[in-house]
Amino acid sequence: MAAVLEATSLMAQDPGLLADVLRRMATGVGPATAVDQAVEGFCSILEMSGGYMAERVTDLRDVRDRIVAQVLGQKPPGLPQMTEPSVVVAADLAPADTATLDLDHVVAIVTELGGPTSHTAIIAAQLDLPCVVRTAGALELVDGDIIAVDAAHGTVVKDPDDSLREAILARASARAALKESSGGPGKTKDGQAVQLLANIGKVEDAEKAAKQDLEGVGLFRTEVLFLDSKTAPSVETQVKAYTKVFQAFGDRKVVVRTLDAGADKPLAFAPSDEEENPALGVRGLRMDRRYPQLLDDQLTAIAQAAKATGAKVWVMAPMVATVHEAQAFEQRVKSHDLPVGGIMIEVPAAALRAPHLIEKVDFFSIGTNDLTQYAMATDRMAGELAELLDPWQPAVLDLIAMAGAAGKAADKPVGVCGEAARDPLLALVLVGLGITSLSMAPNGVPAVRYALARTTTAQCEELAAAARGAIDAAAARSAVEALVDPEILLAL
Ligand SMILES: C=C(OP(=O)(O)O)C(=O)O
Ligand SMILES: [Mg+2]
131 as an active site residue: the answer is no
Domain boundaries, the chain: 2-71, 86-159, 184-490
Architecture in CATH for domain 86-159? 3-Layer(bba) Sandwich (3.50)
pLDDT at 445 over 90: yes
Alpha carbon nearest to ligand 1 atom 5, residue: 369
pLDDT digits (tens, 9 = 90+) for 225-251: 998 899 999 999 999 999 999 999 999
pLDDT digits (tens, 9 = 90+) for 191-214: 999 999 999 999 999 999 999 999
119 as an active site residue: the answer is yes
Ligand 1 and 262: CB distance under 6 A: no
Q: Could you tell me the pTM of the whole model?
A: 0.74
3-state secondary structure the chain: CHHHHHHHHHHHCCHHHHHHHHHHHHCCCCHHHHHHHHHHHHHHHHHHHCHHHHHCHHHHHHHHHHHHHHHCCCCCCCCCCCCCCEEEEECCCCHHHHHCCCCCCEEEEEECCCCCCCHHHHHHHHCCCCEECCCCCHHHCCCCCCEEEECCCCEEEECCCHHHHHHHHHHHHHHHHHHHHCCCCCECCCCCECEEEEEECCHHHHHHHHCCCCCEEEEEEHHHHHCCCCCCCCHHHHHHHHHHHHHHHCCCEEEEECCCCECCECCCCCCCCCCCCHHHCCCHHHHHHCCHHHHHHHHHHHHHHHHHHCCCEEEEECCCCCHHHHHHHHHHHHHCCCCEEEEEECCHHHHHCHHHHHCCCCEEEECHHHHHHHHCCCCCCCHHHCCCCCCCCHHHHHHHHHHHHHHHHHCCCEEECCHHHHCHHHHHHHHHCCCCEEEECHHHHHHHHHHHHCCCHHHHHHHHHHHHHCCCHHHHHHHHHHHCCHHHHHCC
The domains spanning 86-159 and 184-490 adopt the same CATH topology: no
- For the CA of 117, the closest atom of ligand 1 is 5
Q: What is the pLDDT averaged over residues 334-346? A: 98
pLDDT digits (tens, 9 = 90+) for 298-312: 999 999 999 999 999
Which CATH superfamily is 184-490 part of? Phosphoenolpyruvate-binding domains (3.20.20.60)
pLDDT digits (tens, 9 = 90+) for 119-131: 677 778 777 788 8
Question: Which among 43, 131, 417, 460 is annotated as catalytic?
Answer: 417
pLDDT at 94 over 70: no
| Protein residues with C-beta less than 5 angstroms from the ion ligand 2 | 346, 367, 370
Please state, rounded to an integer, the average pLDDT across all residues of the chain: 89
- The residue whose CB lies within 8 Å of the most ligand 1 atoms, and thus the one to mutate among 378, 390, 417, is 417
